[in-house]
């Protein structure tokens, strides 16, 4: 099962997630198929790990 | 010419023209001091060393040799054209010919092809149809997971993993004439596909490259899929063309009659006038599936469109059903029109760039990042946490998923320039766009001034 972690920019905003199993960085782009898979994963009731402080 | 020429109704010659008309008055042949006109004739057997002004509405089955023809219209030419000059061709069909040492007016063929909506260069909507690019595996065999890409642009769609392997030039057989590479599938067991199962190798085509086909409208264009295929099995094989929503499918079949023999296949598909097809966007325009064993739930009647999710045709051969069975394919071409033209060879560099719109790596032609073989590294000068960015070699279809690697092929890690070892810091990316990205390195070893090397993979496949 894939798990994800949010990544914060230096200004605190979040527009990237990491797929923990392979350290892939996934941008918030609706056309990105990995991001589509992430959204599906979230819609199934899953929650990503929060970004580091 | 066989038959009898009966001369009747003679008239006085006033313009040095000789005319032959049918009994209905239609002009079949005329000649004067400037040339000859042929019209409305069938089976003109040969034209040799003639000067002809025009040929219209005629079928020429013989060769045209050492002749000058000013105009050809609405004519079918099935013989060879040798050492001749044809100034213009319109609305005609030239088939099974050798055209040698002949001159055709510049632009005439292009105009005809364009008028017929066929186009010329870049006819093939399939990328890497000759299977020459393999950025991920560099020719190594892989047992791909569902959705994983094998050779560039070619992915597998399967319900149960590990039933087949994929390798560029698997088995090391001689590729078909004109090709150097092929995609090779090898069955890893004798697996009985469940009714709700599917095993396929497939390619999705971006909407920007299919929208002109106007599928989903009354103006949907016909396409022709052609390829060369080789299998240890014989029989009827299947595949499908499908829309992005997976609710419109066109199953097709083809026959491999001789085992272990390259066979040329051509399948003509009338464009779908129904359903929803992605237009001119960076989304999935359509997907071409080649079935390797598909269950009944996902198999449909060949040769017609269905509002269903089909990956192959009913009754098609299952490659994964035979342990060790092979299925090799290359020269895959999808083009507009009802005729399979010769394979649209593109320069290797062009094909690589087309592939890199969807997948790019800084490791060059190697399949893994290594100390010795990795070719390109962006080198970043650390500013405690944030490093500089890098532009992709080729703009991506969408903002890609980026994975950072060290020189030791460790994902999520970076390398220290001075030692080449994995740095204690970790890396992530930010600011990923279609054209570039920047990396952030965090960790105790990210002292300002320490040189860090970062390798990467960028993936924006459909």
pLDDT in tens, B398-456: 999 999 888 888 998 888 877 888 888 777 777 899 999 887 776 655 566 677 778 88
B241 in a structural domain: yes
Which of A 13-52 lie inside 8 A of B, CB atoms? 15-16, 18-19, 22-27, 29, 31-35
Q: What is the pLDDT of residues B251-280, one digit of tens each?
A: 999 999 999 999 999 999 999 999 999 999
The set of long-range contacts for A37-44, using a CB threshold of 8 Å and a minimum separation of 24, is A37/A2, A38/A4, A41/A2, A41/A4
Same domain, residue pair B438 and B423? yes
Same domain, residue pair B212 and B307? yes
Which of the residue ranges B57-61, B369-373, B454-458 has the most confident prediction, judged by mean pLDDT? B454-458
pLDDT computed for residue B384 by the predictor: 55
**CB of A7 closer than 8 Å to CB of A50:** no
Same domain, residue pair B405 and B301? no
CA dist B444 and B427 (Å) reads 12
Structure tokens at B187: 């069955």
For range B293-314, the mean pLDDT: 98
* Domain's final residue, options B302, B330, B356: B356
**What is the ipTM for the molecules in this complex?**
0.94
Among residues B383, B352, B396, B402, which one has the least CA distance to residue B450? B383
Residue B297 belongs to a domain with what CATH number? 2.60.120.260
Look at B406 and A31; give whichever has higher pLDDT: A31
Among residues B347, B349, B359, which one has the least CA distance to residue B392? B359
| Cα distance between the two ends of chain A | 26
Q: What is the pLDDT of residues B59-118, one digit of tens each?
A: 787 788 888 888 888 788 878 888 888 887 777 777 656 777 777 766 666 666 666 666
For range B366-394, the mean pLDDT: 68
- DSSP class of residue B173 equals P
Same domain, residue pair B339 and B371? no
Q: Do A25 and B282 lie within an 8 Å CB cutoff? A: no
B75 in a structural domain: yes
B128 in a structural domain: no
**CB of B398 closer than 8 Å to CB of B438:** no
CB-based contact, A1 to chain B, within 8 Å:
no
Mutation for testing the B interface, residue in A32, A34, A53 having most B CBs under 10 Å: A32
Same domain, residue pair B94 and B189? no
B129 in a structural domain: no
Among residues B54, B63, B1, which one has the least CA distance to residue B30? B54
* Domain's final residue, options B356, B375, B398: B356
B11 in a structural domain: no
Per-residue pLDDT band for B342 (boundaries 50, 70, 90) equals confident
pLDDT computed for residue B428 by the predictor: 75
B423 in a structural domain: yes
* Domain's final residue, options B334, B356, B378: B356
Per-residue pLDDT band for B38 (boundaries 50, 70, 90) equals confident
B281, closest residue in chain A (CA to CA): A31
CA dist B359 and B363 (Å) reads 12
Flag whether pLDDT at B348 surpasses 80: yes
Judging contacts by C-beta atoms under 8 Å, the chain B residues touching residue A33 are 461-462
For range B351-374, the mean pLDDT: 85
How many CA atoms lie less than 13 Å away from B272 in the CB half-sphere? 26
B133 in a structural domain: no
Same domain, residue pair B344 and B374? no
3-state secondary structure B210-244: CHHHCCCCCCCCCEEEEEEEEECCCEEEEEEEECC
Judging contacts by C-beta atoms under 8 Å, the chain A residues touching residue B459 are 24, 34
B144 in a structural domain: no
Judging contacts by C-beta atoms under 8 Å, the chain B residues touching residue A32 are 398-401, 460
CA dist A43 and B285 (Å) reads 25
pTM of the entire structure?
Answer: 0.81
Structure tokens at B425: 């810091």
State the Cα angle at B153 between B116 and B353, rounded to 5°: 80
Same domain, residue pair B99 and B186? no
Same domain, residue pair B227 and B283? yes
Note down the domain range covering B415.
359-459
Which of the residue ranges B56-70, B355-369, B375-389 has the most confident prediction, judged by mean pLDDT? B355-369
CA dist A1 and A45 (Å) reads 13
What is the β-pairing status of strands B35-39 and B51-56?
Answer: parallel
Query: Based on the number of CB atoms within 10 Å of its own CB, is B253 exposed (0-12), middle (13-18) or buried (19 or more)?
Result: buried
Same domain, residue pair B289 and B161? yes
Look at B453 and B225; give whichever has higher pLDDT: B225
For chain A, percent of residues with pLDDT exceeding 90: 72
Judging contacts by C-beta atoms under 8 Å, the chain A residues touching residue B285 are none
CA dist B325 and B319 (Å) reads 6
Same domain, residue pair B340 and B371? no
Same domain, residue pair B200 and B293? yes
List strands edge to edge, sheet with B284-294.
B155-158, B198-206, B284-294, B235-242, B249-256
Per-residue pLDDT band for B378 (boundaries 50, 70, 90) equals low
For range B349-359, the mean pLDDT: 97
Q: What are phi and psi of B108, to 5 degrees?
A: -65, -50
- Is the alpha carbon torsion for B279, B274, B255, B290 positive or negative? positive
| Cα distance between the two ends of chain B | 61
pLDDT computed for residue B302 by the predictor: 98
Same domain, residue pair B387 and B310? no
Our count of domains for chain B comes to 3
Average pLDDT score over chain B: 87
Beta strands in B57-147 (DSSP E): 59-60, 64-65, 68-73, 76-77, 81-82, 85-90, 93-94, 99-100, 103-104
Q: Do A34 and B401 lie within an 8 Å CB cutoff? A: yes
């Amino acid at each position: 099962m894939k798990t994800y972690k949010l990544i914060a920019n230096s200004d605190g905003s979040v527009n990237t997630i990491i797929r923990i199993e392979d350290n892939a960085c996934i941008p918030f782009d609706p056309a990105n198929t990995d991001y589509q898979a992430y959204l599906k994963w979230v819609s199934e009731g899953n929650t990503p790990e929060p970004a580091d402080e | 010419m066989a038959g009898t020429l009966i001369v009747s109704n003679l008239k006085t010659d006033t313009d040095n023209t000789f005319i032959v008309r049918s009994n209905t008055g239609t002009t079949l042949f005329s000649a004067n001091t400037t040339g000859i006109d042929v019209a409305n004739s069938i089976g003109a057997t040969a034209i040799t060393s003639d000067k002809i002004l025009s040929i219209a509405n005629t079928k020429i089955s013989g060769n045209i040799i050492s002749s000058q023809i000013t105009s050809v219209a609405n004519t079918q030419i099935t013989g060879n054209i040798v050492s001749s000059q044809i100034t213009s061709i319109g609305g005609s069909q030239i088939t099974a010919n050798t055209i040698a040492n002949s001159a055709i007016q510049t632009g005439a063929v292009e105009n005809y092809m364009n008028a017929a909506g066929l186009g010329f260069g870049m006819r093939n909507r399939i990328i890497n149809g000759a299977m020459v690019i393999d950025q991920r595996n560099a020719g190594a065999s892989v047992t791909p997971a569902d959705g994983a890409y094998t050779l560039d642009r070619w992915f597998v769609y399967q319900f149960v993993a590990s039933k087949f392997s994929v390798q560029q030039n698997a088995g090391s057989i001689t590729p078909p004439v004109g090709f150097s590479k092929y995609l090779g599938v090898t069955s890893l067991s004798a697996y009985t596909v469940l009714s709700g199962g599917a095993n396929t190798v497939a390619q999705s085509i971006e909407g920007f490259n299919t929208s002109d086909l106007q599928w989903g409208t009354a103006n949907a264009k016909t396409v022709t899929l052609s390829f060369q295929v080789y299998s240890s099995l014989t029989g009827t094989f299947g595949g499908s063309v499908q829309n992005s929503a997976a609710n419109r499918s066109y199953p097709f079949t083809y026959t491999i009659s001789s085992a272990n023999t390259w066979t040329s296949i051509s399948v003509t598909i009338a464009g779908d006038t129904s359903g929803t097809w992605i237009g001119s966007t960076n989304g999935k325009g359509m997907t071409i599936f080649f079935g390797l064993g598909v269950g009944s739930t996902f198999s449909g009647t060949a040769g017609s469109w269905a509002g269903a999710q089909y990956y192959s045709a009913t009754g098609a051969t299952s490659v994964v059903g035979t342990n060790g069975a092979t299925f090799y394919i290359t020269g895959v071409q999808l083009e507009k029109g009802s005729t399979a033209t010769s394979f649209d060879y593109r320069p290797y560099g062009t094909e690589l760039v087309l592939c890199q719109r969807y997948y790019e790596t800084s490791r060059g032609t190697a399949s893994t990042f290594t100390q010795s073989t990795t070719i390109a590294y962006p080198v970043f000068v650390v500013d405690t946490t944030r490093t500089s960015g890098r532009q992709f070699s080729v703009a991506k279809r969408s903002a890609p998923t980026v994975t950072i690697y060290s020189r030791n092929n460790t994902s999520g890690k970076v390398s220290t320039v001075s030692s080449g070892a994995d740095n204690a810091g970790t890396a992530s990316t930010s600011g990923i766009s279609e054209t570039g990205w920047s990396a952030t390195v965090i960790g105790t070893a990210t002292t300002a001034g320490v040189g860090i090397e970062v390798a990467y993979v960028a993936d924006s496949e459909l």
